[in-house]
Amino acid sequence: MCKSIELLNDKISVNSYLNLIKTWMRDTTSLVALSINSGRVVGVAITRINTDSEKTNIYERNQVLTGRSLEDIILLINEVTNQSDIYVKFKQDSYLRIYILCVHPTYKNKGVETALLRAFIQAARAMKLAAIGGVFTSGYNQLLAEQIGFKILSEIRYNRWIVNDTVVFDDPGKGNYSVAFMGKIIDYKDPKEKCKYDV
């Protein structure tokens, strides 16, 4: 999605997005994957707890965004998130949300994304949260999430997202047909999802 809209060519959007990421990271629930050999960061999962009663996602709804590219991205993400109706569908007041799942290109298809998603589930269990969710913008990440039990709660096809009579994301890349909000109820009885912090 970011590549399709040429986010990196919009410096104002890039700086605004980096500020937004820093805000999300302040909750200190995000995860980092490190290379065993070099110790360098090879992937991240930016996460935070969203609570309906406290409206913790109010920042995303009321923020002042700068940069046309970022505005277009956030508009689509907010729409697919609102359509998911996760609090009602999962009957939960809180859930752990993944905002960004990103892996360095040299580590793609090496299991880092899956490891981060599994660690995300473990983090939610350690925090005693019953649900997790997030927006997945690529077909590959949607498939990985589905393989570990995520379900699509809402989905918008890129070619149907039209603003001012224009398809905003006209070339999202091969295999990337939609943006999906996916979620999962944590199964505390499933031994594959067991966490050392479970009681």
Domain edges within the chain: 7-193
Of the two residues 103 and 70, the one the predictor is more confident about is 103
Question: Hey, which CATH number is domain 7-193, 3.30.420.40, 3.40.50.1980, 3.40.630.30, 3.30.9.10?
Answer: 3.40.630.30
26-30, 81-85, 153-157: which range is least confident on average? 26-30
Q: What percent of the chain clears pLDDT 90, i.e. is strictly above it?
A: 48
Q: What is the pLDDT of residue 15?
A: 78
Query: Where does the pLDDT of residue 147 fall: very low under 50, low under 70, confident under 90, or very high at 90 and above?
Result: very high
List the structure tokens of 120.
Answer: 């995300």
Query: Where does the pLDDT of residue 33 fall: very low under 50, low under 70, confident under 90, or very high at 90 and above?
Result: very high
Q: What is the pTM of this model?
A: 0.84
Q: Give 23-32 contacts, CB < 8 A, sequence gap 24+.
A: 23/59, 24/48, 24/99, 24/100, 29/96, 29/123, 29/127, 31/116, 31/119, 31/120, 31/123
- Mean pLDDT, residues 86-95 taken together: 95
Query: Where does the pLDDT of residue 112 fall: very low under 50, low under 70, confident under 90, or very high at 90 and above?
Result: very high
Q: What is the pLDDT of residue 199?
A: 45
Of the two residues 20 and 80, the one the predictor is more confident about is 80
